Structure formats: C-alpha cells, structure tokens
Amino acid sequence: DARVTQTPRHKVTEMGQEVTMRCQPILGHNTVFWYRQTMMQGLELLAYFRNRAPLDDSGMPKDRFSAEMPDATLATLKIQPSEPRDSAVYFCASGLNSFSGNTIYFGEGSWLTVV
Amino acid sequence: AQKVTQAQTEISVVEKEDVTLDCVYETRDTTYYLFWYKQPPSGELVFLIRRNSFDEQNEISGRYSWNFQKSTSSFNFTITASQVVDSAVYFCALSVRNSGGYQKVTFGTGTKLQVIP
C-alpha cells in the first residue's frame, strides 16, 4: 500500500528553535507538495517540486522557511527560527506528474506546536 | 482566478440519513479537474474522487455518489445512509493548468460532517 510518509508526526518546540520536517513521496511520483493547514487559512500551498526542482514556492515565507529535495525519495521543510504563528499541520503530498489532472496523495501530516 | 466555495461549514445528521455536501467552483478554463478529499479526525487527507471537466456523468461508489453539473458549476457529494465513520471534514478542490504550464490546485474551506449515532 503505497503512501506518503512524513516525520515527525508531532513536534512541540520552543520559539527560536529550528524545525525540520521530512517527507518520503510515493515511489515513482515526481511531484511533491508542501501544504500548511490552519483553522484561519485552511490549506495553503507552501512549495511545489517537480523532478526535485522547485516550481512554485511563492506561498512560503522566505525569511524563515526553506524547502529542498536532496533526492527523489526525500523532501524537507525547514523553519528557522520557528515562531508561535508557525503552529499548524504541515502536509506533504506527491503526484505522478504535473498536469492539471494529477491526483495528489497526502501524507498524515506533521503537527507542529511552537511555544 | 480560481475559486472553490463550500458554503456549508458544518452539517450534523443522524446515522442512516442521507446528506449532500455542496461544492461550487469558478474558473475560466475549459479543461479542469475536480476532486473530493476526506479528512477524518485522525488528520490525514484521503483522496476520494477525481472528475474532469468533459465528463459529466454522475458517479457512484458504494454509499458515495457525486453529481457534476457544469451548467451550475457544481460538484456535489452525497453520502447515502450515513454512518458514524463518515464523520470528517470534506474538501472539494479544483485543479487547472496555470500560466507556467503546471498544475494549480485550489481547495475549498471544507465542510465538517458530524454523523450522530
């Protein structure tokens, strides 16, 4: 049963600390997405990769957030320094391609609390 | 610009009742795709269905059915004989090809369904 795997599932950290979230996309998928979900903003796209290259990161606060794909099986999202307003659920998702009909499959999410 | 409206924020039904979740979308693209996802209390987003803009046939999968009407720009989701396990937040999403030639997905704000035993 292929699925997107995210770690950590839950993270509580102090303000100012670095947070790294990791994602293993479904094997064979070449598009990876990072979404953030909050009650106020709903689902927001932070970053979008195709074949490990960033296609769109316009939704990501550049001063503290960074997203990379060191290889095809690993995507990372880093927050440095973290702030309480970053508390949210961060979802990684992957898809087979980037055409408009691409079905996006989500991981279980990383629940981040910054205190 | 694309927009997805899920006007029902929360719905409560008693088990075994039928319930319809509304989704209205806006786009100027003639080729687009519509999706429904389920987010149960455990938090993960589960893909339910994908339809393209050229296929207006309704679809049924067990107790789930989807009604796509281009004339009203709607893609509604009906659960027949609801069960407690259907309690979740349901998201409708619209996907188009953006000016850069790749996928752009717009999610609705979700409808929280509570099925009461």
**Closest chain A residue to B51, measured at CA:** A101
Confidence of residue B11 (pLDDT cuts 50, 70, 90): very high
Smallest Cβ–Cβ distance between B109 and the set A42, A55, A109 belongs to A42
DSSP line for B38-89: EE-TT---EEEEEEETT----EEETTEEEEEEGGGTEEEEEESS--GGG-EE
- Structure tokens of B2? 């694309």
Spatial separation of the C-alpha atoms in residues A42 and A85, rounded to whole Å: 14
How confident is the model over A43-61, as a mean pLDDT? 93
Report angle CA B71, B1, A55 to the nearest 5 degrees. 125
What pLDDT shows up at residue A111? 97
**What's the whole-number average pLDDT of chain B?**
95
Q: For residue B104, which residues of chain A lie inside 8 Å, CB to CB? A: 100
What pLDDT shows up at residue A7? 97
Spatial separation of the C-alpha atoms in residues B104 and A109, rounded to whole Å: 21
Matching residue, tokens 């717009």: B106
- From B12's Cα to the closest Cα of chain A, the distance in A is 19
pLDDT of residue A1 exceeding 80, the answer is no
Compute CA distances B30 → B1, B95, B96, B105, whole Å: 13, 11, 9, 15
What pLDDT shows up at residue B57? 86
Confidence of residue B101 (pLDDT cuts 50, 70, 90): confident
Q: Say which range, A73-77, B24-28, B56-60, has the weakest mean pLDDT.
A: B56-60
How confident is the model over A95-103, as a mean pLDDT? 90
What pLDDT shows up at residue B56? 87
- Asked if the Cβ–Cβ distance from A100 to B46 is below 8 Å, we say no
Q: For residue B109, which residues of chain A lie inside 8 Å, CB to CB? A: 42
| Residues B68-90: tens digit of each pLDDT | 999 999 999 999 999 999 999 99
Q: Is the dihedral of CA A99, B64, B62, A105 positive or negative?
A: positive
Smallest Cβ–Cβ distance between A91 and the set B33, B45, B103 belongs to B45
